[in-house]
């Protein structure tokens, strides 16, 4: 096993040379670097930081959108034995200040003027900070001693390389497997962020396990859109992509994902379940706009696809007549989805939250295998995955070879292995609380393992609702059922220690407009519908439709439509698009209380 991540990049630069390594779309134009250029840029950044006094074990914070300079910075920081602190671009200034201060970062690499101004505003909170490096300096005031450009940083590094040839390689060779590669601050739903200390060996444990599964090779193409600051994208995409030598293309934005996928034709995709749910909801909405006979054909095709998907999962042969029907269904419905994903996509990860069987079957029938899995920052990304040749939809798969999974007496998922972090940066009490007395990581998730070893996550331990009547209810199961309806963008179930359940809803405005037109409702804009009683009657019908599928104690008695969309910016969603229940409850406390009259 190679000692560290920087040694991997050096080896791949020697192996692949001028072959394309990474491309990023910016302003509609694709810009790329070869493996040799990638390594040389990382070396320049690393030695530039070394010239500024950064040494092994020092922390460097990094805040930028996905771009070439992000990965060059990451591998430059890591290459001199320092530690990267990735920061989400959506975080408010006070949280950024907390992370820089808690990590005692010496250098902070930021993207542009807006990020620089935010950084200058928190200097008083960050006594350890010695230099702010700006990637795009347009309109930036560079007069402050603490500020310098990214280009100047690289020039410093090139000068150091000329002065001391081979220094970067020597610094890389001094990095040990147990040394920290990065500290990833958890997005968390409660309390201040905790810095998960991820070592080189933690990342290698995951990459070696993925490689054993033959996840990808150097002929594969990945179109990436999750932020690099997200541990899953960073480990399973950025680091593992480097590890096996795949081609990586970073989209310009979420708005260009479809166009970029169709242009670069990926063979693999990394996503979170909410992305798959959005794609599926959009397809359902489009189908419902069609004439009745076309809707009937669509529904027929979906049923055929589900039958075929189930047989594939069970490794059973597909009967001749069903196979003929499937070929027709594929040409009429499923081929469009595969084409929208570039036409070559073999698999797509939908990890991090439960995904409905209906959606998994739909993608599988289209020839795009959805890999469900489970993990967390403390596991250095995934801990379990479904495998291409051994899977069960509706489960998070089986443990990776690098870790073990077991279920505690109270149902909590426990994890132990080489990918598990040693703890949280300078938080000994939180570290102690994260592990049980036998050294197993306590995930905070409730789950079960079936007779074949497949893990199923049923809820968050702290999210379990215990009603006033003593019923234990897993809200995620109910929420996922409602979110299968294209009308519901988000659906948050509430009711702990209450007599009944209520919900806060984000409505999909596109679907709302379609349903309103279908009912003959006149309106000037879809936002207007959220105030209308005639539209509320439509929502009532959809809620009752899903309620009819639930046990009485699981049904939603009242709901309220929240007009603004939950987002990272409002603090109601994590970067992986999971709802922060505590934040939602605090922000909308009065609305929730109104549904529980005394």
Residue 188 has pLDDT above 60, yes or no: no
Of residues 288 and 6, more confidence is placed in 6
Instruction: Give the helix/strand (H/E) hosting 283.
Output: helix 273-288
Residue 463 has pLDDT above 80, yes or no: no
Class at the top of the CATH hierarchy for domain 464-594: alpha beta
d(CA 364, CA 511): 25
Q: What is the pLDDT of residue 258?
A: 85
Task: Summarize pLDDT for 372-397 with one digit per residue, the tens.
Answer: 999 999 999 999 999 999 999 989 99
d(CA 198, CA 194): 12
Query: pLDDT-based confidence at 1, cuts 50/70/90?
Result: very low
Task: Summarize pLDDT for 110-160 with one digit per residue, the tens.
Answer: 999 999 998 998 988 899 999 999 999 999 989 889 999 999 999 999 999
Residue range 278-295: average pLDDT?
87
CATH of 201-460, one of 3.40.50.300, 3.40.50.12780, 3.40.1380.10, 3.40.50.1390: 3.40.50.12780
For all residues of the chain together, what is the average pLDDT?
Answer: 92
DSSP state of 564: S
Residue 371 has pLDDT above 90, yes or no: yes
Of residues 474 and 515, more confidence is placed in 515
Using alpha carbons, select from 585, 568, 516, 569 the residue that is nearest to residue 274: 568
Of residues 351 and 439, more confidence is placed in 439
For the chain, percent of residues with pLDDT exceeding 70: 98
Q: What is the pLDDT of residue 191?
A: 62
Q: What is the pLDDT of residue 480?
A: 84
Residue 66 has pLDDT above 70, yes or no: yes
Is the CB of residue 554 less than 8 Å from the CB of residue 206?
A: no
Residue 499 has pLDDT above 90, yes or no: no
Q: What is the pLDDT of residue 272?
A: 79
b (16+ CB within 10 A) / e for 159-194? ebbeeeeebbeebbeebebebbbbbbbbbebeeebb
Query: pLDDT-based confidence at 598, cuts 50/70/90?
Result: low
User: Which parts of 330-458 fold into alpha helices (H)?
Assistant: 335-340, 357-365, 428-434
Residue range 445-450: average pLDDT?
94
Residue range 305-319: average pLDDT?
95
Residue range 430-454: average pLDDT?
95
Task: Summarize pLDDT for 8-56 with one digit per residue, the tens.
Answer: 999 999 999 999 999 999 999 999 999 999 999 999 999 999 999 999 9
Residue 189 has pLDDT above 60, yes or no: no
Whole-Å CA distances, 497 to 341, 418, 590: 44, 40, 17
CATH of 1-16+35-175, one of 3.40.50.12780, 1.10.1370.40, 3.40.250.10, 3.90.1300.10: 3.40.50.12780
Q: What is the pLDDT of residue 397?
A: 96
Query: pLDDT-based confidence at 91, cuts 50/70/90?
Result: confident
The domain ranges of the chain are 1-16+35-175, 201-460, 464-594
Using alpha carbons, select from 373, 91, 45, 359 the residue that is nearest to residue 236: 373
CATH fold match for the domains 1-16+35-175 and 464-594: no
Task: Summarize pLDDT for 259-272 with one digit per residue, the tens.
Answer: 999 999 999 999 87
Q: What is the pLDDT of residue 280?
A: 86
Q: Report CA Rg, the chain.
A: 25
User: Which parts of 418-532 fold into alpha helices (H)?
Assistant: 428-434, 475-483, 509-518, 526-529
Residue 547 has pLDDT above 80, yes or no: yes
Residue 274 has pLDDT above 80, yes or no: no
DSSP state of 333: I
Q: What is the pLDDT of residue 2?
A: 61
Q: Strand runs (DSSP E) across 38-86, as ranges?
A: 59-63, 83-86
Residue range 301-314: average pLDDT?
95
Residue 220 has pLDDT above 80, yes or no: yes
Residue 284 has pLDDT above 90, yes or no: no
Q: What is the pLDDT of residue 351?
A: 77
Residue 421 has pLDDT above 50, yes or no: yes
Residue range 173-198: average pLDDT?
87
């Amino acid at each position: 096993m190679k000692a560290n991540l920087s040694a991997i990049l050096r080896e791949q630069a020697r192996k692949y040379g001028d072959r394309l390594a990474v491309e990023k779309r910016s302003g509609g134009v694709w810009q790329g670097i070869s493996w040799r250029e990638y390594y040389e840029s990382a070396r320049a950044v690393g030695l530039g930081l070394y010239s500024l006094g950064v040494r092994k074990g020092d922390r460097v914070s990094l805040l930028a959108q996905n771009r070439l300079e992000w990965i060059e910075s990451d591998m430059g920081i890591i290459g001199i034995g320092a530690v990267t602190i990735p920061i989400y671009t959506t975080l408010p200034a006070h949280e950024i200040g907390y992370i820089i201060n808690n990590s005692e970062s010496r250098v902070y690499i930021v993207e542009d003027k807006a990020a620089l101004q935010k950084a200058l505003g928190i200097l008083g909170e960050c006594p350890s900070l010695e230099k702010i490096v700006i990637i795009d300096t347009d309109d930036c005031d560079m007069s402050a001693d603490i500020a310098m450009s990214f280009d100047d940083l690289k020039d410093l590094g090139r000068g150091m390389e000329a002065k001391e040839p081979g220094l970067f390689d020597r610094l890389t060779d001094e990095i040990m497997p147990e040394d920290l590669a990065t500290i990833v601050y958890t997005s968390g739903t409660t309390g201040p962020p905790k810095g998960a200390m991820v070592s080189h060996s933690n990342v290698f444990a995951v990459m070696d396990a993925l490689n054993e599964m033959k996840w990808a090779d150097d002929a594969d193409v990945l179109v990436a859109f999750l932020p690099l600051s997200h541990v899953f994208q960073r480990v399973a995409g950025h680091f593992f992509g480097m590890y096996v030598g795949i081609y990586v293309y970073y989209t310009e934005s979420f708005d260009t994902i479809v166009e970029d996928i169709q242009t670069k034709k990926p063979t693999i995709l990394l996503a979170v379940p909410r992305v798959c749910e959005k794609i599926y909801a959009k397809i359902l909405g489009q189908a419902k706009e069609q004439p009745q006979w076309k809707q009937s054909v669509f529904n027929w095709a979906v049923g055929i696809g589900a039958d075929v998907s189930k047989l594939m999962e069970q490794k059973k042969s597909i009967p001749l007549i069903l196979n003929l029907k499937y070929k027709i269904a594929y040409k009429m419905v499923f081929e469009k989805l595969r084409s929208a994903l570039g036409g070559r996509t073999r698999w797509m990860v939908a990890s991090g939250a439960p995904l409905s069987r209906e959606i998994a079957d739909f993608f599988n029938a289209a020839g795009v295998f959805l890999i469900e899995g489970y993990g967390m920052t403390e596991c250095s990304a995934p801990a379990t995955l479904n495998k291409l040749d051994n899977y069960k939809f509706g489960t998070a798969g089986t443990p990776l070879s690098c870790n073990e999974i077991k279920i505690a007496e109270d149902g909590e998922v426990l994890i132990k292995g080489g990918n598990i972090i040693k703890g949280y940066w300078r938080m000994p009490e939180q570290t102690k609380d994260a592990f049980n007395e036998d050294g197993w990581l306590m995930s905070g998730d409730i789950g079960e393992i079936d007779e074949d070893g497949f893990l199923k996550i049923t809820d968050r331990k702290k999210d379990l609702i215990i009603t006033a009547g003593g019923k234990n209810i897993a809200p995620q199961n109910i929420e996922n059922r409602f979110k299968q309806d294209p009308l519901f963008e988000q659906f948050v179930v509430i009711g702990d220690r209450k007599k009944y359940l209520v919900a806060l809803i984000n409505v999909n405005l596109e679907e709302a407009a379609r349903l309103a037109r279908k009912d003959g409702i006149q309106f000037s804009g879809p936002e207007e519908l959220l105030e209308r009683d005639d539209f509320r009657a439509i929502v009532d019908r959809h809620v009752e439709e899903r309620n009819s599928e639930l046990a009485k104690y699981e049904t939603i008695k009242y709901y309220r439509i929240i007009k603004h969309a939950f987002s990272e910016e409002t603090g109601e969603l994590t970067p992986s698009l999971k709802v922060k229940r505590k934040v939602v409850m605090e922000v909308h406390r009065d609305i929730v209380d109104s549904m529980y009259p005394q």
